[in-house]
Amino acid sequence: MLKGLLRKVGACLMTAAVAASLTCCGNSESSSGTAETSAEVSGTTAVSIPPVTHDEMRDISSAELVKEIKAGWSLGNALDSHGVEDYTGLDTETSWGNPKATYELFTAVKKEGFNIVRIPVTWYPHMDADGNIDEEWMDRVQEVVDYAYGQDFFVILNIHHEDWHDPYYDNADAACEKLKKVWTQIGNRFQDYDDKLIFEGMNEPRKRNTPQEWNGGDKEGHEVVNQLNAAFIETIRGLGGNNPKRHLMIPSYAASITDGALNDFVFPEGDDKLIVSLHAYAPYDFALGLDQNNRDYNENDVKWVMQTIKTHFIDKGIPVIIGEFGAVNKLNLNTRANWAKLYVSEAKKIGVPCLWFDNGSFNGDGETLGLIDRKTCTWKFKEIPDAMIIASRDESE
């Protein structure tokens, strides 16, 4: 059994002066991401961002949609950053040490061969007491989504690091109401986006700071997560635009693949546009454990993950996306690249796409899951994304 999943406080915090000074690939930005713009940047040619257009929403099942997805990359420790004193409003994006995301960053990810990105967003610091999301923050989230969506990525947009939906019975009603309000606002803002935009209802909902947090949870946690998932689905399906046909991802307790979490997980019937959201850093000691001596892995641990997913979901016709995986840097690049190739290859055999959680951290004793330098938009450990892309290709490619 896996010992746990991700703790996303990876990158060392920078001072306000350093973080404010960072730029990425010239850091050309548009005001909304929806109109053609160009920005002059120091020492570079202005980059033109084309307008975003929306195709017709296809009426296809999530099982069909997932077949179109190859391998993916997650923008970690960016829009999900929070909790740092003196960083408020739009400044929170850089509070965990990364520069602001840019159009050029997603261009580099696209050029590597990825066709799906995940954009984690923490919303609660940008909401008032009544749950209303700050308009300026919503605009920035849309701008970043458009950087990817406009380049024909599949995009997963979620709520991340929220501190209000812990799965307890006495919190369930309040959490459901807040979840509905948050997703109503997000759903309305993005209602015209087609099936390239996927909503993920929650990230790793769990009983934080308890013995049940990462061991698969308990009956209470499982039941409340199921209740929250149902509230999310009901909310999006009740909105206008393309939302009745929107593809939605719903997690197990903590997005865990432990038997306890999966045995009690309820996958709603009658809606063919749902995807299970799972995270798996396996084997944990190699992938996410910080002991530098655990620099190798047993491939059977990876195969166990895929067999577990196959048994619980794939064999039942239920589509799955592994929204987070990765292995920290222990000066073992070739091993990590071989592991990534094995991981994506084994997942592909059962039809499950995988997304690497890139937190922009490369060195030190924390969770060094970074792959691409966001200041230059160049890959620091290119062997890893190369391995993922090779493993995700069809035989005809």
Can you give the pLDDT at residue 22? 37
Can you give the pLDDT at residue 111? 98
Q: How far, in Å, CA of 345 to CA of 304, rounded?
A: 14
Per-residue pLDDT band at 394 (split at 50, 70, 90): confident
Q: How far, in Å, CA of 154 to CA of 195, rounded?
A: 8
Task: Compute the average pLDDT of residues 35-64.
Answer: 71
Whether the predicted pLDDT of 279 surpasses 80: yes
**Quick one: CA dihedral 377, 382, 386, 389, positive or negative?**
negative
Q: What percent of the chain has pLDDT over 90?
A: 86
Can you give the pLDDT at residue 215? 94
SS3 category, 18: helix
Which tokens in the block code for residue 69?
């997805």
Can you give the pLDDT at residue 44? 40
SS3 category, 48: strand
Q: How far, in Å, CA of 151 to CA of 112, rounded?
A: 13
Can you give the pLDDT at residue 377? 98
Per-residue pLDDT band at 392 (split at 50, 70, 90): very high
Tens of pLDDT along 306-346?
Answer: 999 999 999 999 999 999 999 999 999 999 999 999 999 99
Per-residue pLDDT band at 115 (split at 50, 70, 90): very high
Q: Which residue in 29, 104, 324, 367 is the catalytic one?
A: 324
Whether the predicted pLDDT of 393 surpasses 60: yes
Per-residue pLDDT band at 55 (split at 50, 70, 90): very high
Can you give the pLDDT at residue 147? 98
Can you give the pLDDT at residue 95? 98
Tens of pLDDT along 163-191?
Answer: 999 999 999 999 999 999 999 999 999 99
Domains of the chain as residue ranges with CATH: 60-392 (3.20.20.80)
Per-residue pLDDT band at 46 (split at 50, 70, 90): low
Exposure on the CB side of residue 13, measured as CA atoms within 13 A: 14
Can you give the pLDDT at residue 41? 34
Q: How far, in Å, CA of 252 to CA of 36, rounded?
A: 40
- 324 catalytic residue (yes or no): yes
Whether the predicted pLDDT of 123 surpasses 60: yes
Mean pLDDT (the chain) is 90
Per-residue pLDDT band at 29 (split at 50, 70, 90): very low
Whether the predicted pLDDT of 159 surpasses 60: yes
When comparing pLDDT for 379 and 9, which is higher?
379
Task: Compute the average pLDDT of residues 42-53.
Answer: 69
Q: Which residue in 29, 93, 204, 346 is the catalytic one?
A: 204
Can you give the pLDDT at residue 98? 98
Task: Compute the average pLDDT of residues 214-240.
Answer: 97
SS3 category, 379: strand
List of E strands, the chain: 37-39, 47-49, 71-75, 116-119, 154-158, 197-200, 248-251, 274-279, 320-325, 354-358, 372-373, 378-379
The pTM of this model reads: 0.90
Task: Compute the average pLDDT of residues 66-78.
Answer: 98
Per-residue pLDDT band at 3 (split at 50, 70, 90): very low
Can you give the pLDDT at residue 47? 72
List of E strands, 209-312: 248-251, 274-279
Q: How far, in Å, CA of 200 to CA of 232, rounded?
A: 9
